[in-house]
Amino acid sequence: MKRVAVFLSLAALPAALYAQKKWTLNECIDYATKNSLNVKTSQLTIQSNRILADKSRLSYVPDLTLYSDYRLNTNRSLAPLTYSFIENTHNHAADVGINLGANLFDGLRKYYAYHKSLSDWEASMADFEALKNDLSLSVLLSYMNILLSKEIISSVKQQLENSEQHIGQAKRLLQEGVITAEKLQNLQIQRDNEKYALADAEGNLVSAIINLCSLLNIADYQTFDIEDEYSFRSVEMIPLKDIIASAMSLPQVQAGKIKIRSAEYGLKVARSDLYPTLSFGAFFGSSYSDLRKRVLPDANGNPLIAGNEYLYDGYPFFNQLNNHRSAYLSLTAGYPILNLFQTKKNIALAKHNILNAQYELQAIEKKLTEHIAQTYAEVETARKKYEASLSASEHARAILSYAVNKLTNGVLTPSDYTVTKNNLMVAEAQASRAKYEYFFKLELLMFYYSQANAM
C-alpha cells in the first residue's frame, strides 16, 4: 500500500507543478503560436502547398512505362472440310515492352504552373506569419484583461476590508448609543454593494482566463494563472507616417503581393494553351504466342516437307521475343482548334483573378492604414484619460480619508460616506481601465512598427 501511495503521489506531481506555474506574457505567446488549432491548420496548409510545388516540379520528368501482360485464350474453331465445330482450343500469349513519352514544348505551361505553385507556397507561409501576429495580439489583449480584472479585484477587496472595519466600529458605537441602527445599515448596504462589485470582477476574471486558455488550446483553465507583474513601457511616439510605412511590410501585406504574383502565373498558364504542342515518344517491345510454330530446316537451311506439308517444331519463348521485337520513335505536333473558345474563357477568368488579388491587397493596405491611424489617435485620448483618472482617484482617496475621520467623529452621515466611497471605487476602476487601454494601444502601435522592421 505504501508503494501505491508513493506512485500516486509521483503521478500527481506534474499536475501540481503545472497548477502552481504562473505564465508570463512571452510564455503565453510562444505556447499559443505552437499549440493553437488555427496555427496547426495553417501549418498543414503550408505542407500541402509544398507537396503541390514538388509535384508540379516532377511534371518535368518524362513518362517511362514498363509493361507486360499474359493472356490465356479459349475458343472453338471450324474443321476446314466439314465446317463443323471441333473441340475448344487453348493458346497462351504475352507482350512485353517499354514506353517513353515527353513533352518537348507545351507553351511553357509546366514552367508557369511550377512557379505558380511556388508562389502559393510562399503566400501560405506569409499567411502563417500573419496568423501568428494576430494570435500574439489576441494573447496580449487577453493577458491584459486578466491583469485588469485582478487589479479591480484587489481594489474592491481593499475597499471591502475597510468597510468591514468601519462596520465593526459602527457596531461598537451602536452598543454605546453613539449612532443609530440606520447608520449601521447604511454601512452594511455599502459593504453588500462592494461584495456585488467583487463578484462581478471575479466573473470577469474567469471569463478572461477562459478566453486566454482557449487561445493557448489549454482545457484546464481552473488551475491556470499568469504573473501579476507586467512592465508597462512608455515610449516616445513615432510619427504616424513611419509606422504606416513600416506596417506595409507586415506578413499580411506580403501575402497579398505574393497572391498577385500567383494570379499572374495563373494567367500565363491559361495563355499557354494557345500555343501548339510538341511531344516525343519511343517504344520497344516484343510478343509471344504458343500458336506460333517454327519450320524445321534441313542441312542446307531449306524447309523440310513431308508429303505436302511443312514440318514444324516448337518455338521457344525467348526466341520469339528476340525474333518479334519491334521499336519506333515518334514526334507529335498538335494545335488546339475548337478548344480555343474554352482557352479564351480561361484567360478571361485568370485576368479577373489578378484584379481580385489586387483589390484584396488594396483592401488589406487600406484597412491596416485606417486601423493604425485610428489607434494612433486613440493613444493620445487614452493617455489623457489615464492621467485624468489617476488625478481623480488620488483626489477621491484624499476625500475618503477626510470622510473616514468625519464619520468616526459623527460629523458625517453614513449616506454621505457611502457616496464618497462609491466615488473612489468608480475612480479607481476608471484609472485601471484607462491604464490598460492606454498601454495596450501603445503596445499595438509599437508592435506594428517593431515587428515590421524585424522582418
Cell for 365?
493596405
Q: Mean pLDDT over residues 172-187, rounded?
A: 75
DSSP structural state of residue 23:
B
Across the chain, what does the average pLDDT equal? 83
Compute the CA torsion angle 81, 86, 88, 94 (nearest 10 deg): -10
Neighbouring-strand partners of residue 93:
71, 289
Between 261 and 89, residue with greater pLDDT: 261
Spatial distance between the Cα atoms of 85 and 3, rounded to a whole number of angstroms: 90
User: 401-453: per-residue pLDDT in tens?
Assistant: 767 777 666 666 666 666 777 777 777 778 888 888 888 888 888 888 886 55
**Residue count (the chain):** 455
Between 343 and 399, residue with greater pLDDT: 343
Q: Mean pLDDT over residues 227-245, rounded?
A: 80
Q: Check residue 138 and give its pLDDT.
A: 92
- Specify the CATH superfamily of domain 22-275+341-454: Outer membrane efflux proteins (OEP) (1.20.1600.10)
CB 269 within 8 A of CB 116: yes
Residue 79 has pLDDT above 70, yes or no: no
Amino acid, single-letter form, for residue 6: V
Q: Give the number of other Cβ atoms within 10 Å of residue 415's Cβ.
A: 14
Residue 14 has pLDDT above 70, yes or no: no
Q: Check residue 13 and give its pLDDT.
A: 43
Q: Check residue 143 and give its pLDDT.
A: 92
Q: What is the pTM of this model?
A: 0.78
Question: Which of these ranges, 32-36, 209-213, 235-239, has the smallest mean pLDDT?
Answer: 235-239
Backbone dihedral region for residue 83 (phi beyond 0: left; psi -120 to 50: alpha; all else: beta): left
Cell for 395?
483626489
**5 band by pLDDT with thresholds 50, 70 and 90:** very low
Q: Where are the beta strands (DSSP E) in 160-302?
A: 277-289, 294-295
CB 327 within 8 A of CB 240: no
Question: Which of these ranges, 186-200, 328-342, 412-426, has the smallest mean pLDDT?
Answer: 412-426
Residue 455 has pLDDT above 90, yes or no: no
Q: Give the number of other Cβ atoms within 10 Å of residue 233's Cβ.
A: 9
